[in-house]
Structures are given as C-alpha cells and as structure tokens.
Amino acid sequence: MTTPVASSSQPVQIPAVKGPHANNVVKPKEKKAKAAAAPTHPLELNPPPAFFDHRIKLFEKLKAEYDEWVKVQPRQEIEITLPDGSKRQGKSWETSPMDVAKEISKGLADRIVIAKVNGEVWDLERPLEGSCSLELLDFEHPEGKRVFWHSSAHVLGEAAERHYGCHLCIGPPTDEGFFYEMAIEDRPVTNADYPALEKVSDLAIREKQKFERLVVPKETLLEMFSYNKYKKQLIESKIPDGTSTTVYRCGPMVDLCNSASYFLGDPNNDSLQRIYGISFPDKKQLVEYKKFLEEAAKRDHRKIGKEQELFFFNEQSPGSTFFLPHGTRLYNTLVQLMRVGSLPSLDTSSSDYGYRKNTSRGATRKVSLGPVYLDQGSTLTLDHLVISPNMYNSKLWETSGHWQNYKDDMFTLDVEKEKWALKPMNCPGHCLIFDSRDRSYKELPIRMAEFGIIHRNEASGALTGLTRVRRFVQDDTHVFCMPSQIREEIDALFDFMQHIYGLFGFEFKLELSTRPDNYLGTIETWDEAESQLKQALEAQYPGQWDINPGDGAFYGPKIDITIRDALRRSFQCATIQLDFQLPERFNLKYRSPEDFQSADKPPSRPVIIHRAILGSLERFIAIITEHFAGKWPFWLSPRQVLVVPVAIPYKEYAAEVAAMLSGLGLYADVDNGDNTLPKKIRNGEIAQYNFILVVGQEELDSRSVNVRNRDDVGTKAKTEMVPLDEIAKKLVELRNSRSLKNQFV
C-alpha cells in the first residue's frame, strides 16, 4: 500500500558493492546480484526504541479515560442528513459514519476513506455526537485522497521508526502523495532501504492496525514526546498554551496529526532526511501510476533539455539557467507571444485591426491581448513596456511590506553601510514609475508590462531543473486603474488568458485565494477586494471556480489559475491579484474630476491588478517541454526545418534553401556535414525537426524540395517534390496559424 519513492530534488548515490574474486572462480551473475542486494541492516530494531513503550503507556492511559467518558454520555436519537437530502436515524455517541455506510451498501463501506460531519472532516469509526449532515468520501474525492495519503504517511512513519529507530519530525500529504522528514543518526537514507520500509509498511497493513484518535492537551503532548526535540519544538511553537491538538496511534506509532509545515522553515536548524511515498486503495491504481511514472520520466524536461541542447545548469551559479541557442529560440518565441499577444485571426503586420465580440454578453468591448489592447476596431493601445532596476535599497522593501514579510526569500547585500536587495518581484518598482509624475484619471488604466529578471533565495536542496530556480523572468503586468475599471480589466485579462492557454492545448481551473493571516490593511478593504473578484469570476465562469481560503498574497486576494498538461498533472501558473495596499503604502494618487471641485477631498487612489499568465518563463518552459514531450508544435519549435542535401554537389542549394527560409523568420538549419544521407535524416528526426527538406538534382533543376513531416509516417520515404516558393508560403502560414498540429493549412 505504501510505496516510498526517492526525492526528485537530489538523486541518491549508491556505491557499487565490491567483493573479492576467490581463486579467480567466476560465479554466476545472478548469485552475485543477489549477494550484492543482501541487506546490511535488520528489518526492524530489536529491541525496539525505548520511546515506543513510553508513548504507548501514556496513550493507553488517556484512551481508557476517554472511553470511560464516552460511556457516560447520554444516548439520544439523532437524525443524519445525507447530501441527496435523504435522512437516516442513529444514536448519539454510538452510530458512526461507517455504520451509516454499511446500511447503505457494502460496496460503499468498502470504498470510503473519510467522512465529513457538518462540513468537518470526521473519522469513519468516530461516533456522531448529535444530529448532523454527513458526507462519505472515497479516494477519488480530493479530500478523501488527502486523508488517505495522510494516513499512509503515518504508516511510513511507523515503518521508519521500526527500521531506523529515528526521531520523526513532520509527515504531511502532498498533491502527489506524502512524505516524512526524520532525524537519523549516522546513517543516510538510500534506495537500498526502500524494500525494508515497504516490507514493514506491508506488515503494519496486514495487521489491520486501527487508527485511534485522541485530543491531548499541550502539557501532556510535551510529556508524550519528551524524547523528540523536533516534536517538542513544533508543539511549543505551533500549539498555544492551554489548548489541545489531535494525535493518532497506529500500532506502536503515535504522532501529531496537524504538523504539515516545514521544520520551522529555518535552514540553520538540524538537517533532516525526507522520504517520499505514494499509496493507492488497490493494486490496479498502483500499476497505472507506475506507467505514469515511466511516461513522466520520458518527458522529464531535464532529460529533453539535455538531449535537444536547450539549456543546462552549472554549480558556479546554482538555480540559474544557461539557455543554449535553441533554448533561447524557444524562450524568445514565448516572450514575443506575450509582447504581441495576437489572436490567431489578427494580422499584426497590417494596420487593419479589428475588435473581438464577447459572445457571452453579446456586446463589443476592449479585449486584452497581452501588451496589445484592441479598442473599437480602430485604436491600438499598447501596454507600457518598461524596464526597472534589479537592486533596490531596503527602504523600498520596507515601504512595500516585503522586508517584513519576505526578507528571508530575498538576496540581500551591504552597500555603503546600507541594506539593499535584489528584487524578488517587479511591483514596487512599477509603483515608483507610476509615482514619477502627476497622473490624471484620463490616463487610466495604465498597464505596465516588464519581462524583468527576478531573484529569489530558494534553498539549495529545493532547486529542481527549471521548475525551481533562483533567477528567472516573469511575464509581469501591473494595471493601475480606477475602482470603476476593475471589472472591465479583469474580464479582458480572462479573455487573454483563455486565448494564450488555448494555444498550448491547456485546460485550466480557477481558485479565489482569500485573506491570509499575515495580511496588510483593513478587513473592510480586503472584503471589498474579494467581493470584486468573486463578481468577476461568477460573471465569466459561473459555478466553475473554487475558494482557497487564507492563501492570498499578504497585500491582496488573488485568482490562481491551474493548468493541466498532457499527463493530467496540475500546475499553478497564471495569477490575477487585486491590490489596494501598495497604492496606500506608496501614496499613489491620480487627479479625478471630483478633485477639482473640492480641495478637502482625500486623494484618489488607483487600484493595482497584478497579472502573470505564463508566470516564470523558466518554469513554463519546463511545463510545456513535458506537455509536448519535446515534440514542439511548429510555431513554438526551436528546430522547425532541417535542409539535407543528398550529396556534396547539392550543398550549395541546401544552404540557399535554408537561407531563404531563415530570411522569412523561420528557424531553418542545414546539415552539410560528412554523414550519409540516412544518418543525417535520422539525426534530424531524433532532434525533433518538424520538417526535413531533402534536395538533390531533381529538386535543384526544378527549384523545389522533397518534404518529410515529423508527424506523418507516410512522408518518411521520398515524396512528391514541392516548389520552393510554395513550401515557404505554407511554412509561414503554419507558423502564423499557431496550430498545435504539424500540418499545412
């Protein structure tokens, strides 16, 4: 059930097992392999760690007291309301969600993993305490999956304690399974440990250990976990004095339930080891997951990036990407897309710009096309493309609030006895640009776009390919507008987002992230901002969005957009954030018509809308590399055309063809090397060129080419010749169409 897997951040290095060759006798390979795989550590520690007994005795004492208390609770008839409105009868302190499930059907009882009582997560065997609403959730439900993986993390924790005798820290569920962090003295975790951990986990499952729940006061928790300094520190820092929290027991393991946060997030604390795992209710799902892992490994952007020579990393600058020429082509294509942002039907080389109709409302309006905005069919309004500094005095970050809330994630410097920092985001600099002169309401909205270089101080162990880097670029836009313009601007951003994601074939979902604990400003301002975003979401996507409570930025609520790739994995890329705080903190203002009528009127403040569609360009390149598995659509491809001569006499014509196509803005390369024709074609196919154009005597005489399409098996052999002018026109049309199919229009 529990299948630990290695962390993807750093591969585990396992040295080869060496052994003497006695008398030069060659032993069978199979026996040598078995000998090499022999475990060097026992399956379980014997005797077990001393803290097992201490913990269990205290838990059993508390559990007995709780059971006695439950026995004397008054039993009353209760009414249980199911999601379909049907009602069931039960008895308080006796009837459990599992009892209700069994009444409905055995199949349901076998399938469910958790319940919700009056909206609160509730264990299946925990008695109901009164009349209530009841939901029964299986593994396919997001909350059911999360609870299943959280329970699996406890099983992994038990296996780790029994095998290593370690001190556990935290073991939360994640979007892709779960992990456990632990302190192990003088022993690194290696791949060789996984069979033992899986074996002990399997033993625990076969024992059908119950998950037993208790609510325990803070003082008793400190006694229960007195042997474990990590648990003590979590208890002391996370649980207020005089309160309690939940613990669960399974077998000899007792652990806190709510500990899903990094060990104080401080790299100066002890270095812990982390084991990842994933589990499923049945073996069929596990088999499917293993197939998914195989396909994901083939699509790994780090693998494809190396094979296609797109980018690399170097230890002299960890977390910073070196883009090679073909990777730079890809990067620049994305930047150009976001700069122009044209609709497929829009010819930006023409002065005849049209407008787009919003069919959901049946009215024409301004439509955001990234930095290009079309208005009423005649006016082309561009975003203000700006460039702001990379480094600022700490006073700027104190004004913005980042110094108080984000300092640990910034690269700071001492310059002339003052603190400075590399920018982790562009918005404070854009506030300075807005405030560089007086502004009138007639100028608004002002849209500032910047592809600025950003630095964030990610922990070295968290750096992973292009998905987690320290230096990156965002497709950042900040819209400074009047409150009355918010709705129109957000509607336009939704249109643009839908257009851009459609070019890549992405589906997406939306979440409204609301006020976090470390918010700036007043609750009234936050309520107004959240209300504006809810209205915009409901107007564009009625009933198709969710709320993510407490996950907003410290300066304002946001709409997070999650895309799904070809493997059905989810990634959060786009964000639309409404910000009433930065205009206040930077004292931004504009002159409104009312300002001229009353000198006593407070200044009019703009609202800032933060917008990113791709998010980090580096991370987005990782996502689309794996989404397309390195087989790029023509418009995005860094290797669009390869021209190959059949023999030496035709090298000059091949170079001429490549030069002509390059002159049209296409990425055309020529292979005039010494390899044979089949070898050159094979190399082109491996490099994922969209089209290979073969030229020889017939093609030279007729000024034509022979076309091989990467995605059309029927063109792998020689096909009919196509005139050079005609193929050039078709290639340009295909690029401009931004089609996902590698087929001529």
User: How many CA atoms lie less than 13 Å away from 327 in the CB half-sphere?
Assistant: 23
CA 426 to chain centre: 21
Are the C-beta atoms of 489 and 445 separated by less than 8 Å?
A: yes
Catalytic residue among 99, 193, 383, 476: 476
Catalytic residue among 610, 611, 639, 708: 610
Under DSSP, the state recorded for 597 is T
**SS3 annotation, 298-344:** HHCHHHHHHHCCCEECCCCCCCCCEECHHHHHHHHHHHHHHHHCCCC
Cis peptide before 47 (omega within 30 of 0): yes
User: How many CA atoms lie less than 13 Å away from 588 in the CB half-sphere?
Assistant: 32
CA 720 to chain centre: 46
Under DSSP, the state recorded for 409 is G
Active site residue 735: no
Q: How far apart are CA 176 and CA 293, in angstroms?
A: 12
Active site residue 610: yes
Residue 692, strand partner residues: 642, 708
Active site residue 456: yes
Catalytic residue among 116, 154, 439, 478: 478
Active site residue 431: no
Catalytic residue among 154, 430, 558, 619: 558
Strands 641-645 and 668-670: parallel
Catalytic residue among 145, 167, 169, 474: 474
User: How many CA atoms lie less than 13 Å away from 710 in the CB half-sphere?
Assistant: 21
Q: Which of 680, 657, 670 is nearest to 727 (CA)?
A: 657
Sign of CA dihedral 23, 24, 26, 30: positive
Cis peptide before 389 (omega within 30 of 0): no
Alpha helices in 193-270 (DSSP H): 194-206, 218-224, 229-238
Catalytic residue among 169, 427, 431, 573: 427
Catalytic residue among 302, 456, 639, 708: 456
DSSP for 161-189 reads HHHH-PEE----EETTEEEEEEE-TT---
Spell out a b/e string for 435-469, using b for 16 or more CB atoms within 10 Å of the CB, else e.
Answer: eeeebebeebbbbbbbbbebbbbbeeeebbbbbbb
Are the C-beta atoms of 705 and 602 separated by less than 8 Å?
A: no
The kind and range of the H/E element at 278 are strand 273-279
Q: How far apart are CA 588 and CA 568, in angstroms?
A: 43
Q: How far apart are CA 140 and CA 666, in angstroms?
A: 46
Active site residue 427: yes
Active site residues per annotation: 427, 456, 474, 476, 478, 558, 610
